[in-house]
C-alpha cells in the first residue's frame, strides 16, 4: 500500500475514532502533499508526487516540529511543545524505521566503495548515493560528518 493510501485510510480511521489531534495532523500532511502535487503539475508532471517525494515532505515536517519543540521549551511553553511532539509521533508512523549507527556506518562504507571515493571532493557524490538508497531511513545531517571523516581519514 502506497503512502498516500495509508494516510487517507488513517485519516478516515481518525475521523471514526474522533481523535482530534491525530486527525488535524493527518490533515496537515494531506494538505502538504496536495500543495506539492499542485506545484508538480505546474512543472508539467502528469500525476501527483510519488512516495519518495512524500517521504521528503514528511521528513521536513518532522524537522520543523523538532525545531518548534526546542523553541517552545526554551520559551517555557511546555504545552505547545507537547502538542508538537504528539504531531511528530503521528508523522513518524508513515516514515520507515530509522537506521542504527552501525547501519549508517556500514552504508557510508558501502557508498564510498561503490563510487571509489578517495578524497573530500567526492563527498557530494557519496551523499547523493546515500540519499538515493536510504531516503527516509537515514538522518543525512548525522551521516554527513561520518562521510567527511571517512573521506578525510
Phi, psi of 105 (to 5 degrees): -60, -45
> CATH number of the domain that 119 lies in?
1.10.10.410
pLDDT tens digits for range 87-103: 999 999 998 888 888 88
Verify that 130 and 85 share a domain, yes or no.
no
Is there a single domain that holds both residue 70 and residue 108? Answer: no
- Contact present, 23 and 14 (Cβ < 8 Å): yes
Q: Are residues 77 and 18 in the same domain?
A: yes
- Residue 45: DSSP 8-state: -
Domain that holds residue 145: 101-152
Look at residues 42, 71, 92 and tell me which one is the last residue of a structural domain: 92
- Do 43 and 18 reside in the same domain of the chain? yes
CA angle 120, 64, 106 (to 5 degrees): 35
Q: Around Cβ 142, how many Cβ atoms within 10 Å?
A: 12
Do 65 and 73 touch, CB atoms closer than 8 A? no
Q: How many degrees, rounded to 5, is the angle at CA 73 between CA 95 and CA 77?
A: 110
Domain holding 8: CATH number? Answer: 1.10.1510.10
- pLDDT tens profile 64-77: 999 999 999 999 99
Domain boundary among 46, 61, 92: 92
Confidence at residue 132, expressed as pLDDT on a 0 to 100 scale: 83
Clarify whether residues 88 and 112 are in a common domain.
Answer: no
CA distance 56 to 32: 11
Residue range 78-136, pLDDT digits in tens: 999 999 999 999 999 998 888 888 888 888 889 888 888 888 888 888 888 888 888 77
Residue among 56, 51, 35 nearest 2 (CA): 51
Amino acid at each position: 500500500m502506497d503512502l498516500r493510501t495509508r494516510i487517507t485510510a488513517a485519516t478516515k480511521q481518525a475521523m471514526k475514532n474522533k481523535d482530534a489531534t491525530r486527525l488535524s495532523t493527518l490533515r496537515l500532511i494531506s494538505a502538504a502533499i496536495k500543495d506539492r502535487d499542485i506545484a508538480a503539475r505546474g512543472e508539467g508532471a502528469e500525476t501527483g508526487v510519488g512516495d519518495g517525494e512524500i517521504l521528503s515532505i514528511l521528513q521536513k515536517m518532522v524537522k520543523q516540529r523538532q525545531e518548534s519543540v526546542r523553541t517552545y521549551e526554551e520559551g517555557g511553553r511546555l504545552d505547545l511543545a507537547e502538542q508538537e511532539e504528539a504531531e511528530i509521533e503521528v508523522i513518524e508512523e508513515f516514515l520507515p524505521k530509522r537506521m542504527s549507527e552501525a547501519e549508517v556506518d556500514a552504508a557510508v562504507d558501502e557508498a564510498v566503495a561503490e563510487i571509489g571515493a578517495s578524497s573530500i571532493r567526492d563527498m557530494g557524490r557519496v551523499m547523493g548515493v546515500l540519499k538515493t538508497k536510504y531516503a527516509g531511513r537515514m538522518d543525512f545531517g548525522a551521516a554527513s560528518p561520518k562521510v567527511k571523516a571517512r573521506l578525510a581519514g
